[in-house]
Structure 1
Amino acid sequence: MPLQLFHNFSGRNLPDYSQHTFDSMLVENGRIVKTGYQLTSSQTDLQTTDLQKSTVLAAFSDAHVHMTQTGIALSGVQLEPADSLDSVFSLLGAESKRNEFVLGWGLQETRLKERRLPTCAELDRICPKNFVWAARQDLHSAVLNTSALQWARTIISNLSAPAGLVTGSDYNLLSYKLIDRLPATFKQNGLKLVQQRCFSKGVASIHALEGSRESTADTAAVASFANNSALRTTIYHQSGDPTLALKQGWRGMGGCLLVDGSLGTRTAALTQPYADAASSSGNLYLSADDIAELLTTARKHQLHLALHAIGDRAIDLVSASYTWANQKWGKPAIADRIEHFIMPSDKAIRQARDNATHICVQPAFDYYWGGPDQLYAQRLGRERASCLNPFKTMLDLGIQLAAGSDSPVTPIDPMLGIAALVHHSNPEERLRLNSALALFISEPHKLAGDSLIRGHLKPGYHADFICLDQDPFKIAESHLAELKVKKLYIDGSCVFSD
């Protein structure tokens, strides 16, 4: 590729994205050679690109994506807009006329007029001849119709599914079996949709958390797709078996290996019962011995471990386990991760700091479910809910945070996540815009171990950058989520143009 000159833009970098620090950039073979003001070159084959006064930042990164599941969800029925059961039934019924398999995603009963999930009998009436799987937005439970339940009971013969609701470890197993059942071509087409979604939102890099203990096929398919895609993909195989990670040369194992579930489904493991279900304190899917075995395997093979923990009881367990591992073997080259870390105790926060644990947070969770009258408060009561997602507290203590979407739980949309960080439902946990941008630009690369070549617009770094239609520091913060990406460049090549 010839030497490229990008010019006529407002270039931004850390430590302060609000400051205009260069207006031109030379790129060669996908890497930045030089940044500065009104740069020129005497090379005769110079390729010049006018960026038309755009605000230019290093490209966004999403540190927590379920790529296969996102592709399936983008190919199915989006139930998130529904505000009543009739709306849900209308969406599912329309899909039943197009496909035998009716896969619904984003179901949120707290947003429905009836404040409840549909039942198996209701789904049968709407789709009597179809296979129906209607998953809650958190992807920790789903309502099935009779056809889907018959299939499910070939896998779990003693399945308990009151009114068609499948949850807990049964849901976890069945959801992976459902993905395995779908045609490979269907899932491959879904990956293309995910790439399109990423590029349209300015995302050049993702961390893809794929597969399961039972299957490597989908993880391998994502790896194959990534090898032929401009989308930069750090892959985690969600298994305690490191074989695939070692074969592929990946540096981590795990991902959303579930230590507990979710608050919405009441399966996140709590130290005190749920406010709206006093008989339940959630589920622990892994014990201290299970986590110790995973850590032993990871350290043996010089891999870092990533685990899902949402409730305070689960986070305490993982944090204590990481402390044990670091005392026994020392800290790994790339720190172990905790995904979500929604409800940490003060002790767990201190342990995360002392262990240099990498914490991957999902700011849009607070956008959708935070606040005094929203789902978190319904499940936990207002006092406990106000302490969730303590982003500023953790940053102020020097904890390494990076942000992701957990797509398809929330959409791949960094500007939505950035707006959520700035407008946290608890004013004491709101971040300044500069820090919020960093969580979606530079910080995910620290978790991936490639922060010396990606995440900044500096000489030697990959020329991965976005052009925004407005300066985020010059618009009202209430409009941040509406900010549009005009162009995305990866290695100096335009992969998206609005």
Structure 2
Amino acid sequence: MSEHIPDRAGRPRPRTVLLRGGEVHSPADPFATAMVVEGDRIAWVGEEGAADSFADGVDETVHLDGALVTPAFTDAHVHATATGLALTGLDLSAATTLPDALDRIRAYAAARPADSVLLGHGWDASAWPEGRPPSRAELDAATGGRPLYLTRVDVHSAVVTTALLDLVPGIRERSGFHPGTPLTGDAHHAARAAAYATVTPAQRADAQAAALARAASLGIGSLHECAGPDISGEDDFTALLALAAEGRGPRVIGYWAELIASAKDAERIRELGAAGAAGDLFADGSLGSHTAHLHAPYADAGHTGTAHLDAAAVAAHVAACTEAGLQAGFHAIGDAALTAVTDGVRAAAGTVGLERVRAARHRVEHAEMLTGATIAAFADLALTASVQPAFDAAWGGVDGMYATRLGADRARTLNPYAALLKAGVPLALGSDSPVTPLDPWGTLRAAVFHRTPAHGISARAAFTAHTRGGWRAIGRDDAGVLVPGAPADYAVWETGELIVQAPDERVERWSTDPRSGTPGLPDLSPGNDLPVCLRTVVAGRTIFDRPNE
């Protein structure tokens, strides 16, 4: 619905909506039960008794019936087309064994046109009793010899059929190709480009629409798309931004992962519609695929992973971006990659000035294997940590994939959210969907109930990082919060009793006492039902309404 309507003279005026009779999560008034939206902005937040003064002058009154109203979530790291393809196609994230995965591949292939290239995602052999991915021979048999591109859950490696290899001349001579193992590196990038080149514009549009619709249904009002030449391609990126600009779904802020060296390069990034030369600009790979760059070898492999950028390349990119007024950013997971990034950003600060680097709000995606030194560097350089708590929920703990790859001692150091906040590092939470699903309340639960308890943060801090933190990560300090003047991006939730958690403790002290002066949040404890989204609104426009059951 439009945020403007004509007045009696036919001129557009802001459409006004009164929401009343619920719980409004607002720092402006911790007791708020009502809110007025005027056009694309929040106009007023307050208590029920004062809402009567607005009732006769609004265009719509929404009776909340006790529902909770919060700022819409921002997912700070997504891949929309890949998410949509997983939603509408072959998704192996639920496969529990190798035979189960092969059965799903066989059924999917049988249901697709005989001349189509098969695309799939989500296998994780570390969670299967067989402990290995499907072989090329097994995939050839399951698909009847058809081309198949099937990414691991982390999207940093893939298994493919012989027919898919045959579509890419010279792929067997590229780095990252080894007979009998998943593709990584250049071989993987070439296979991905060949597979995605078969996706028609109509298929791509359907996938992107599916991803945006799923996000809207989960109370997500903004997505940070992390694209680039090795990930999705310019046509995919610009098509997504054009679709989002139609205003029927969440906002999309796009990042393009390409090194720049000049003002001309920066201008081309802007012409694409990107907010920065950032996102998945790979300093390394992933732990699951043994490609994250480590200082010491993997516990289950005799090497230290793969470095894609050194400190000098990072410094040149950050300096060029800072001079051009453009955000820079990197994908960095391993401790050696994070050292290269922080050393490079510090070197750039020595060239263009520390305050200019800090003001640019450059960002680092994932930032998993942090040390005390790199956390301090993040704080000093004002780097935003764009992190995914669901990674820890999926792969953390004493018997998880991290422990297998790194050993228990190093695994316990991963994803230290509490230490980041204590150091004053800005956090923005996301999913890296389709690596882990779009699931904002599940993301908050994972941040609070971290598999390594010392790294967990309060629900209040996690909520801020998944709402206001995403806006701050793009340089906006006026959004992601329900206060007068802020953008009218909000969600309405069906939920249980609200509680208040002490901001400096993870789970130890909970209260339902409103005298705390702090807006309450749902109880995220494991076993409790998470909130259900009833409505999502972006810039005053309703982009999702749950059907009446």
1:59 aligned residue: 72
Give the counterpart letter for 2:75 in structure 1: D
Matching of residue 459 in structure 1 with residue 475 in structure 2:
no
**Offset of residue 245 of structure 1:** 2.7
**Contact 2:19/2:34 (8 A) holds in 1:** yes
Which SS does the other structure have where 1:255 is aligned? coil
Equivalences for residues 151-166 of structure 1 within 5 A: 151-154=167-170, 157-158=173-174, 160-163=177-180, 165-166=182-183
Unaligned runs of 5+ in 2: 5-14, 260-264, 500-521
Give the counterpart letter for 2:536 in structure 1: L
**Offset of residue 365 of structure 1:** 0.2
2:109 aligned residue: 96
Give the counterpart letter for 2:471 in structure 1: H
Equivalent of residue 296 in structure 2, options 249, 272, 290: 272
**Offset of residue 44 of structure 1:** 4.7
Matching of residue 478 in structure 1 with residue 497 in structure 2:
no
Equivalences for residues 340-355 of structure 1 within 5 A: 340-355=366-381
Matching of residue 219 in structure 1 with residue 237 in structure 2:
yes
Q: Deviations over 1:226-284 (max 9, x none)?
A: 2113311111112224344322564421210111000001100000000011x210000
**Contact 2:78/2:224 (8 A) holds in 1:** yes
Equivalences for residues 44-443 of structure 1 within 5 A: 44=57, 46-99=59-112, 100-154=116-170, 157-158=173-174, 160-163=177-180, 165-212=182-229, 215-229=233-247, 230-240=249-259, 241-247=265-271, 250-277=274-301, 279-330=302-353, 331-332=356-357, 333-443=359-469
1-structure distance, mates of 2:91, 2:72: 27
Aligned pairs, number: 493
Matching of residue 27 in structure 1 with residue 37 in structure 2:
yes
**Contact 1:132/1:147 (8 A) holds in 2:** yes
**Contact 1:145/1:164 (8 A) holds in 2:** no
TM-score by length of 1: 0.94
1-structure distance, mates of 2:376, 2:524: 35
1-structure distance, mates of 2:498, 2:55: 35
With over 3 angstroms needed to count, the CA separation of the structure-2 counterparts of 1:495 and 1:226, relative to structure 1, is: closer
2-structure distance, mates of 1:429, 1:184: 43
2:12 aligned residue: none
- Bigger shift: 135-144 or 229-238? 229-238
2-structure distance, mates of 1:455, 1:301: 27
**Contact 1:106/1:136 (8 A) holds in 2:** yes
Which SS does the other structure have where 2:129 is aligned? coil
2-structure distance, mates of 1:472, 1:154: 59
With over 3 angstroms needed to count, the CA separation of the structure-2 counterparts of 1:365 and 1:45, relative to structure 1, is: closer
**Offset of residue 45 of structure 1:** 5.4
**Offset of residue 336 of structure 1:** 0.8
Which SS does the other structure have where 1:286 is aligned? coil
Q: Deviations over 1:328-377 (max 9, x none)?
A: 21234331111000001211111001111111011000000000001000
With over 3 angstroms needed to count, the CA separation of the structure-2 counterparts of 1:59 and 1:476, relative to structure 1, is: closer
Which SS does the other structure have where 1:166 is aligned? coil
Give the counterpart letter for 1:463 in structure 2: A
2-structure distance, mates of 1:44, 1:438: 33
Equivalent of residue 488 in structure 1, options 522, 525, 536: 536
- Bigger shift: 264-273 or 243-252? 243-252
2-structure distance, mates of 1:347, 1:231: 37
**Offset of residue 442 of structure 1:** 1.1
**Contact 1:337/1:360 (8 A) holds in 2:** yes
With over 3 angstroms needed to count, the CA separation of the structure-2 counterparts of 1:50 and 1:188, relative to structure 1, is: same
With over 3 angstroms needed to count, the CA separation of the structure-2 counterparts of 1:384 and 1:291, relative to structure 1, is: same
2-structure distance, mates of 1:341, 1:396: 16
Give the counterpart letter for 1:444 in structure 2: G
TM-score by length of 2: 0.86
Which SS does the other structure have where 2:331 is aligned? strand
Which SS does the other structure have where 1:80 is aligned? coil
**Offset of residue 306 of structure 1:** 1.1
1-structure distance, mates of 2:334, 2:529: 28
1-structure distance, mates of 2:383, 2:98: 42
RMSD: 2.0
2-structure distance, mates of 1:208, 1:449: 16
Which SS does the other structure have where 2:470 is aligned? helix
**Contact 2:27/2:482 (8 A) holds in 1:** no
**Contact 1:216/1:244 (8 A) holds in 2:** no
**Contact 1:268/1:311 (8 A) holds in 2:** yes
Give the counterpart letter for 1:35 in structure 2: V
Give the counterpart letter for 1:235 in structure 2: G
Q: Deviations over 1:32-85 (max 9, x none)?
A: 111111213275553211112111111111000111222222232111111111
1-structure distance, mates of 2:421, 2:450: 14
Which SS does the other structure have where 2:337 is aligned? helix
Identity over aligned residues, as a percent? 30
**Contact 1:419/1:480 (8 A) holds in 2:** no
**Contact 1:107/1:137 (8 A) holds in 2:** yes
2-structure distance, mates of 1:21, 1:320: 46
- Bigger shift: 262-271 or 110-119? 110-119
**Contact 2:135/2:180 (8 A) holds in 1:** yes
**Contact 2:117/2:195 (8 A) holds in 1:** no
With over 3 angstroms needed to count, the CA separation of the structure-2 counterparts of 1:5 and 1:427, relative to structure 1, is: same
